[in-house]
């Protein structure tokens, strides 16, 4: 039995993890979960899996869930805010922590889980984007495994198994291209929120779907891959693969390219992270290449989708630049989702922030959090 805590249980990744666990109740045991506002779904999970520890990050929802649990006579420990997330991620009985929240909120709970010796099934890419150096050092120091859940990084991780990292030549990170693949800059300057939220392949939360449309999601994944696999930025190549069947590839010094293929379904990488190094029985639809028919590849349009270049630049500069990039993106995407800026304004605000802000002090978790707030305050203050 594997004891699992899930940070962000009501989101896209958390929901799929629950689907996997539901089908394997004799193998997985949920010891703690967290949510932001969706307490209806959270309570359903608590009841179904007899979860003893929950955290809620929205104050009103926190007050409501305590009342509802009391009325239902459900005995469960309820925690609030970032401290609550940290409590869930460091429960003594937890062996693996799935961090599936979106954004900077996942940073502190993930770091504390690592320091508590928990293996991390990582679906919160922002943690590595802003603090990759610190996170990987802490994981090494505490003998903790960082098991990637993003489909692309899981694919790379699988393709590297049994091979010497010294023979790695290149990481080939695939991208669907998003809903605006092939569009011109003039085209995307006029797109609506509804159009941006229509991803052609993946069912994801709103923020990640917008990131996919701008190609920022792929840019963040480039930075994440750099830290996960100790790979230079110039050796990470993004390839647009609209079918989303090849989840990523690695190229070795002898010219061999190894790819991981599968249906576009996040349950597969979640299952691999939970069971590593073993593989479990197939839980998703098996890949039928005859039905797929063909696989195509294109170069990303970096001039139209500027966010990808901005991410490479921020990653190469290092220090606090990835934090600036991520904070500006989170704020800009939030404003776009609220219909307060246009789609192309997202990249413009990120570029402006990267040019305007610079920090020279040593990297630390507390300073990363301060910089994140400063950048977001600037973006919101500029627009609102």
295 and 208 part of one domain: yes
> How many other CB atoms are found less than 10 A from the CB of residue 26?
6
Selection from 349, 300, 316 nearest residue 175 by Cα: 300
Cβ of 194: how many Cβ atoms within 10 Å?
Answer: 7
At residue 80, φ and ψ (nearest 5 deg) are -125, 145
How many other CB atoms are there within 10 angstroms of residue 274's CB atom? 24
Contacts of 64 (CB under 8 A, 6+ apart): 39
pLDDT mean across residues, the chain: 95
Please check whether residue 33 lies inside any domain of the structure. Answer: yes
Residue 214 shares a structural domain with residue 121: no
End-to-end CA distance of the chain: 50
Q: Are residues 382 and 233 part of one domain?
A: no
What local confidence, expressed as pLDDT, does residue 25 receive?
87
Instruction: For residue range 90-149, list pLDDT tens digits in order.
Output: 999 999 999 999 889 999 999 999 999 999 999 999 999 999 999 999 999 999 999 999
Distances, alpha carbon 105 to alpha carbons 7, 84, 85, 101, 342, in Å: 10, 11, 9, 7, 25
Residues 137 and 235 in one domain: no
Q: Are 43 and 10 in contact (CB under 8 A)?
A: no
- The C-alpha atoms of residue 348 and residue 332 are separated, in whole angstroms, by 9
Share of the chain above pLDDT 70, in %: 99
What CATH number has the domain bearing residue 30?
3.40.50.720
Which CATH number does the domain housing residue 338 bear?
1.10.1740.10
**What residue spans of 247-320 are helical by DSSP H?**
267-275, 289-292, 306-317
In a domain, 268, yes or no: no
Q: What is the pLDDT of residue 24?
A: 86
If asked whether residues 372 and 297 sit together in one domain, one would say no
Question: What pLDDT, on a 0 to 100 scale, did the predictor assign at position 233?
Answer: 98
Report pLDDT digits (tens) over 197-232. 987 776 678 999 999 999 999 999 999 999 999 999
Average pLDDT over residues 332-342: 97
- Of 313, 329, 352, the last residue of a domain is 313
For residue 350, give its domain range: 318-384
Instruction: Report CA torsion sign: 188, 190, 192, 195.
Output: negative
Q: Among 148, 174, 204, where does a domain finish?
A: 148
Domain count, the chain: 3
Q: Which of 283, 175, 167, 152 is nearest to 226 (CA)?
A: 152
Distance CA 113, CA 96 (A): 9
For residue 276, is it within any domain? no
Instruction: Look at phi and psi of residue 135 and say left if phi exceeds 0, alpha if psi is from -120 to 50, else beta.
Output: alpha
Are 94 and 194 members of one domain? no
Mean pLDDT of 279-295: 89
Mark whether 173 and 59 lie in a shared domain. no
Nearest alpha-carbon partner for 237 in 156, 337, 127, 146 = 156
Residue 10: is its pLDDT beyond 80? Answer: yes
- Position 283 scores a pLDDT of 73
Last residue of a domain, one of 148, 165, 200: 148
């Amino acid at each position: 039995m594997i004891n699992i805590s899930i940070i962000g249980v009501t989101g896209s990744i958390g929901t799929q993890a629950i689907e996997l666990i539901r089908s394997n109740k004799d193998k997985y045991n949920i010891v703690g979960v967290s949510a932001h506002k969706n307490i209806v779904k959270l309570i359903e999970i608590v009841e179904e899996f007899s979860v003893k520890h929950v955290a809620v990050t929205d104050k009103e929802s926190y007050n409501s869930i305590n009342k509802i649990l009391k009325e239902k006579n459900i005995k469960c420990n309820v925690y609030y805010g970032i401290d609550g997330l940290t409590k869930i991620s460091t429960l003594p009985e937890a062996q693996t922590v799935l961090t599936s929240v979106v954004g900077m909120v996942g940073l502190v709970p993930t770091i504390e889980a690592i320091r508590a010796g928990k293996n991390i099934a990582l679906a919160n890419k922002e943690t590595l984007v802003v603090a990759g150096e610190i996170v990987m050092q802490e994981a090494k120091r505490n003998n903790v495994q960082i098991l990637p859940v993003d489909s692309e990084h899981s694919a790379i991780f699988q393709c590297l198994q049994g091979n010497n990292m010294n023979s790695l030549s290149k990481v080939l990170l695939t991208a669907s291209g998003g809903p605006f693949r092939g569009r011109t800059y003039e085209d995307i300057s006029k797109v609506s929120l509804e159009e941006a939220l229509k991803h052609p392949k993946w069912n994801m939360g709103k923020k990640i779907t917008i990131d996919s449309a701008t190609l920022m999601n792929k840019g963040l994944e480039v930075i994440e891959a750099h830290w996960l696999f100790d790979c230079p930025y110039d050796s990470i190549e993004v390839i647009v693969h609209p079918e989303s069947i090849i989840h990523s590839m690695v190229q070795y010094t002898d010219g061999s390219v190894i790819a991981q293929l599968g249906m576009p379904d996040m349950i597969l990488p979640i299952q691999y992270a939970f069971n590593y190094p073993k593989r479990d029985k197939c839980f998703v639809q098996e890949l039928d290449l005859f039905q797929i028919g063909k696989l195509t590849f294109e170069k990303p349009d970096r001039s139209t989708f500027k966010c990808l270049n901005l991410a490479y630049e921020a990653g190469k500069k290092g220090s606090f630049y990835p934090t600036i990039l991520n904070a500006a993106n989170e704020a800009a995407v939030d404003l776009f989702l609220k219909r307060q800026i246009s789609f192309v304004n997202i990249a413009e605000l990120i570029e402006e922030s990267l040019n305007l802000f610079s920090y020279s002090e040593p990297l630390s978790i507390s300073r990363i959090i301060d910089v994140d707030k400063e950048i977001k305050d600037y973006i919101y203050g500029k627009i609102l």
